[in-house]
Amino acid sequence: MANIKSICVYCGSKNGNNGNFTALARDLGHMMADNGIRLVYGGGSIGLMGVIARAVMEKNGEVTGVIPGHLEDLEVGEKNLTDKFVVGNMHERKRMMFDHSDAFVILPGSIGTLDETIEMVTWKQLQLHDKPIVIVNADNYWNPFLDMLKHIVSEGFMTDYTLELFEVISGLDELLPLLERLPEPQIDPKNTLF
């Protein structure tokens, strides 16, 4: 069983057009707080990012926000967090979020969310980490992305192995049972190539 004390959540800095996604972010925040799981996220107060952070905090959970200085104003950095780090650039942000997390959960979002997701899958493919990565495919939001990955496999640019590096669930009710079933990560982050 994976020992999950903190989850990095990648999600949109907008709410999107589907109101279910705002509820999804709120419900995930409440679930994490209720189960003593710290939220690690991009530090913003807007969009789904802000929704999940406030949901964790309103239930007295713990939140670590990591935001680059140049986005502090654009993403309107959330003020009331357990811990907040303002870093120099996006690379520092990704690395710090990685270092503070035991697992990654992906909610709906835009190209930033895609970038973060693909980077974590790539790092796992390169055996730089073995942490769980879970895509929440609520209302089939991520179907086009998943279809694209299957297309890449069919075109011979990657193998099915890459598709085994992450899990896909359709709802939050599957998340904690899934994390409990997954094995403990085996790669020592001190021995990676970072």
* Calpha distance 103→116 (Å, rounded): 13
Indicate whether 187 belongs to any domain. Answer: no
Indicate whether 190 belongs to any domain. Answer: no
Indicate whether 194 belongs to any domain. Answer: no
Q: Report pLDDT for 28.
A: 98
Query: Domain containing 93: what range?
Result: 6-179
Strand partners, 44: 77
Q: Report pLDDT for 186.
A: 76
Q: Report pLDDT for 123.
A: 95
CA max distance for the chain:
48
Domain count, the chain: 1
Q: Which two tokens stand for residue 162?
A: 């890459």
Indicate whether 193 belongs to any domain. Answer: no
The torsion defined by the Cα of 138, 139, 145 and 149, in degrees rounded to 10, comes to 80
Indicate whether 188 belongs to any domain. Answer: no
End-to-end CA distance of the chain: 26
**In this structure, what DSSP letter does residue 164 have?**
T
Q: Report pLDDT for 77.
A: 79
The neighbour count for residue 143, using CB atoms within 10 Å, is 11
Per-residue pLDDT of the chain (194 residues; tens, 9 = 90+): 568 999 999 999 999 999 999 999 999 999 999 999 999 999 999 999 999 999 999 999 999 999 999 888 766 778 889 999 999 999 999 999 999 999 999 999 999 999 999 999 999 999 999 999 999 999 999 999 999 999 999 999 999 999 999 999 999 999 999 999 988 887 655 545 44
Q: Report pLDDT for 194.
A: 46
Contact 93, 67 (CB under 8 A): yes
Indicate whether 192 belongs to any domain. Answer: no
What residue has token string 């811990």? 83
Indicate whether 109 belongs to any domain. Answer: yes
State the CATH number of the domain containing residue 11.
Answer: 3.40.50.450
Indicate whether 140 belongs to any domain. Answer: yes
Own/partner contacts of 174-181, CB < 8 Å, gap of 24 or more, are: 175/28, 175/31, 175/105, 175/134, 175/136, 176/31, 176/35, 178/132, 178/134, 179/2, 179/4, 179/103, 179/132, 179/134, 180/1, 180/2, 181/1
* Calpha distance 86→79 (Å, rounded): 12
